Amino acid sequence: MKLFINSYIEKLLKKANYEYDKKTKSWCASVDELPGAYAQADTVEEVRDQLAEVIEDYILVSIAERQKLPDFKNLKKFAKKLEYAKSS
């Protein structure tokens, strides 16, 4: 079974902008739909992994602050489950 949040992260990673910066000799990645979601690493694989972590953190903070996320369905339902898990 694939979790919804993982599918959401994968969807955003496919939309991400990946660019090699010759000045820093590193890869940079960002997601236009998530302001401030940015990662930088030596390889494409590393930057993709880092960006996935940034997106996950972005999602959790957005849920905690009840902020909207682009194309994230059932946010209210997910937030209730998260609050239930915190109270247990």
pLDDT of residue 7: 86
pLDDT of the residue at 67? 85
Q: What would the mean pLDDT of 5-17 be, rounded to a whole number?
A: 91
Query: Is domain 4-87 classified as CATH 3.10.580.10?
Result: no
Answer yes or no: are the C-beta atoms of 33 and 46 closer than 8 Å.
Answer: no
Distance of alpha carbon 37 from alpha carbon 29, whole angstroms: 8
Q: What is the pLDDT of residue 6?
A: 87
Confidence of residue 63 (pLDDT cuts 50, 70, 90): confident
Categorize the per-residue pLDDT at 70 as very low, low, confident or very high, splitting at 50, 70 and 90.
confident
Overall average pLDDT of the 52-75 stretch: 84
The structural domains of the chain, with segments of one domain joined by +, span 4-87
The tokens of 74 are what? 């059932």
As a whole number, mean pLDDT of residues 58-69 equals 87
DSSP codes of every residue in 46-76 = HHHHHHHHHHHHHHHHHHHTT---TT-TTHH
